[in-house]
Chain A
């Protein structure tokens, strides 16, 4: 069965600190997709990244970076020089390969960035 674990329930940092959000996944599929979504206090879900299991290259987008390691089944998300606007709940998700493109979400990590 597909499973996503985000062990950090809540994280609190001071602005400009770097912070890493952990994501560990379980799947028997050899091909799969991984995702990160952001949910700010306004409640909408904001897509951040989609990564195919064939592509293990790390990705950087501005202050955001993602480290994908198949050997440890992890897909961690780092925010560099955090800002108050980064305060949100972040979800890691795994794509189900049954043909219906369902997503299995982790329980989320609430990040609070204090000024």
Chain B
């Protein structure tokens, strides 16, 4: 099993550019999440989804949009990138109840906005 796959692994954007980060999981997990990691800040939740077609805001949602059109994919979009969005982005998925908080994390996407 591939688990959780994030694409791309690295990206450099110019301020104002847009991009989409893709998270794909092959475990039939119901819940999916996008976290960002910044030095000295731990991981903070951006957006999450508790099922296909649903999304919700996390702790730091501003500047990001998400979509979950298919159960296996969770997309994170930056419409107009800013230097403050330079970060490492982690996607995760889990299957509630059956395995509480049994997260599977992707390997991360390192994004630099210049």
Contact = CB atoms under 8 A, between A and B. Distances in A.
A106 B107 contact: no
Residue picked from B40, B42, B44, B94, most chain A C-beta under 10 Å: B42
B74 interface: no
Interface residues of A, number: 23
Interface residues of B, number: 24
A86 to B, nearest CB: 19
A105 B33 CA distance: 14
Given A45-B90, A102-B48, A107-B42, A95 B108 contact: no
A101 B31 contact: yes
B100 A100 contact: no
Given A101-B31, A104-B45, 9 more contacts: A43-B107, A44-B108, A45-B105, A47-B103, A91-B42, A101-B100, A103-B103, A105-B35, A105-B44
